[in-house]
Amino acid sequence: MAQYQLLINKKTYTVDVDMQMPLLWVIRDIIGMTGTKFGCGIAQCGACTVHLDGVAMKTCLLPVSAAVGKQITTIEGLGTDKMHPVQQAWIDEQVPQCGYCQSGQIMAATALLAKNPNPSDEEIDVAMQGNICRCGTYQRVRQAIHTAADLMKKETGGEGGKR
């Protein structure tokens, strides 16, 4: 057991856990935020995706020690003041079915859009293929990422500074 300081959603948490414990279980069981999901435990499905310094990362195999000193963002830390455009787009396009994979999908999509504000279908496919959706919402995920890109453009004043 060892003590770690974690910066999650701009708040510092001190945890005392096994150094091998994956970040996923620290976030879920120790800190108690359950938006980040467990789907496979072998870095295959992306349900456990969070951001580490803005980069989408699967956390089910990532030892907690590797996250120290990084800015960790989970689904709970997204759109806290106002809904994130990706979340809005996910509602507009009615993406989720069971919803279980969607935290991971949204974290992967927000990281993609931060890097590439106007991705093509192919770029979306490349960035999102680490995230499985057993309900098969992929067509809507693709569409919602385009919708979110449009919403973000409007927000940043891309269209005459409407907001």
Partner 1 sequence: MEKNINRRDFIKFSGMTGAVLALGFYLPAKGKELLVGNLATQELELSPFILIETSGKITLINPRPDMGQGTFHSIPLLIAEELEVDIDKIEIRPSDGNPKYGAQLSGGSGSVAASWLPMRKAGAAAKEMLIKAAAKKWQVAESECYAKEGKVFNKKNNSSLSYGELVEEAAKLEVPKEPKLKEKKDFKYLGKKSMRVDIPSKVNGTAIFGMDIKVPNMVYAAIEHCPAIWGKVANIDERRARDVKGVKDVVKIKRPVFMKSPECVAVIADNTYAAFQGKKALRITWESAEAEKFNSADYFKKMREMAKTEGNPHENEGDVKAALSKASKTITAEYETPFASHAPMEPEACVVHVKEDSCEIWAPVQSPDTSAFGVGGQVAMAIGMKPEQIKINVVFMGGAFGRKAFYDFVVEAALLSKQVKAPVKVVWTREDDITQGPFRPAMLNAFKGGLDAKGNVTAFQHTIIGGSIQNQWGGMANGKKVDDWAVEAVDKENSPYEIPNFRLDYLHAEPSVPLLWWRSVYSSTNGFAQESFVDELAHAAKKDPMEFRISLLEKAPRFKKVLELLKEKSNWTEKLPKGKAKGVAIVRSFGTICAHVVTVAQKDKEIILEKVVTVIDCGMTVSPDNVKAQTESNIVYGLTAAVKDGITFVNGKAEQSNYNNYKMIRINETPKMEIHIMDNDEKPSGVGEPGLPPLAPALANAIFALTGKRLRTLPFKLEV
Interface with partner 1, residue 75, by CB under 8 A:
yes
Report the candidate in 54, 46, 44 with the shortest Cα–Cα distance to residue 78: 54
Interface with partner 1, residue 120, by CB under 8 A:
no
| Cα distance between the two ends of the chain | 49
- The DSSP string of 143-155 is HHHHHHHHHHHHH
Interface with ligand FES, residue 119, by CB under 6 A:
no
SS3 89: helix
Q: Residue 120 has which token pair?
A: 């093509």
Among 46, 77, 85, 119, binds ligand FES (CB under 6 A): 46
Report the candidate in 35, 31, 32, 39 with the shortest Cα–Cα distance to residue 51: 35
Those residues whose C-beta lies under 8 Å from the C-beta of residue 153, and which sit 6 or more positions away, are 117, 118, 159
Interface with partner 1, residue 147, by CB under 8 A:
no
CA distances from 66 to 14, 20, 59, 72, 88 (A): 15, 10, 10, 11, 32
Instruction: Choose the stretch contacting ligand FES; rule: CB under 6 A; options: 5-13, 69-77, 114-122, 131-139.
Output: 131-139
Binding mask 15-34 for ligand FES (x = CB under 6 A): --------------------
Instruction: Choose the stretch contacting partner 1; rule: CB under 8 A; options: 65-73, 110-118, 130-138, 148-156.
Output: 130-138
Binding mask 59-98 for ligand FES (x = CB under 6 A): -x-----------------------------------xxx
Sheet containing 71-73, strands listed edge to edge, beginning at the edge strand earlier in sequence: 11-17, 2-8, 71-73, 49-52, 55-58
Choose the contact partner of 10 out of ligand FES, partner 1, none; CB within 5 to 8 A by kind. none
Residues that bind partner 1 (CB under 8 A): 1, 18, 21-22, 25, 28-30, 32-42, 44-45, 47, 74-76, 78-79, 83, 87, 90-91, 94-103, 106, 124-126, 128-129, 131-142
